[in-house]
Chain A
Amino acid sequence: DAGVTQSPTHLIKTRGQQVTLRCSPKSGHDTVSWYQQALGQGPQFIFQYYEEEERQRGNFPDRFSGHQFPNYSSELNVNALLLGDSALYLCASSPISGADTQYFGPGTRLTVL
């Protein structure tokens, strides 16, 4: 049983570009959340998707958008990249029933030059 998978592992972009990160949830999970972890900090909640809709959103600008597909996989899109967007982006999946069963993927390391 595969856990949460994310692609790509690493990514280098330049300021102003756009990026798409991908996540496949753990089997049986229907809810996907995205987090940003800057160096030396804890993960910060970006948003959560359930039933292909954004259910909750953290304090992130509209440059951050997402999508969930019918197979529950999800994408995180960031437009007009800034140097400050450099971080580890984590995807977590869970069944809708509870937060204590959130499973995290290994993350995508995004570097913006």
Chain B
Amino acid sequence: DQQVKQNSPSLSVQEGRISILNCDYTNSMFDYFLWYKKYPAEGPTFLISISSIKDKNEDGRFTVFLNKSAKHLSLHIVPSQPGDSAVYFCAATETDSWGKLQFGAGTQVVVTP
């Protein structure tokens, strides 16, 4: 039962342009959402998060948008840089189950010069 879905397995974007990664969830009890970035041979690295009481959170080049009614969130990376090439995972959790993250399958981002 996949409660967090990333329907785009890959995304190719030119350097300097915007990368938009999408994530959908089915469990209405989820109230905290996170994005992780993963390079090969490394563990996932926390990028940015958002609580369900907000609809936007920004940190430098990264912005996460949350649409609770549509059960959809997105990650915007502006501008995209070659070092952003990695696999990006969307994750969700309920406030009372800290640590039990439900992950999507990931989106491979390739930033081309």
Contact = CB atoms under 8 A, between A and B. Distances in A.
Partners in one complex: yes
Interface of A: 4, 31, 33, 35, 40-45, 48, 55-56, 58, 90, 92, 94, 96-107
Interface in B45-74: 45-46, 49
10 contacts: A4-B43, A31-B98, A33-B101, A35-B101, A55-B99, A56-B99, A56-B100, A102-B101, A104-B45, A107-B43
How many interface residues does chain B have, given as a range?
20 to 34
B99 A42 contact: no
Contacts of A35: 101, 103
A50 B104 CA distance: 25
A109 B4 CA distance: 24
Contact of A104 (B44, B98, B102): B44
A105 B104 CA distance: 19
A39 to B, nearest CB: 11
Contacts of A42: 4, 6, 89, 91, 103-106
Interface of B: 4, 6, 32, 34, 36, 41-46, 49, 89, 91, 93, 97-106
A43 B41 CA distance: 14
Contact of B99 (A4, A41, A90, A102): A102
What is the interface of chain A mostly: helix, strand, loop, or mixed? mixed
Contacts, number: 69
A100 B49 contact: yes
Contact of B32 (A44, A45, A92, A99): A99
Contacts of B32: 99-100
Nearest to B90: A42
Nearest to B91: A42
Contacts of B104: 42
B105 A99 contact: no
Minimum-distance CB pairs A-B, first 8? A42-B103, A104-B43, A99-B98, A100-B49, A48-B99, A33-B99, A104-B44, A43-B103
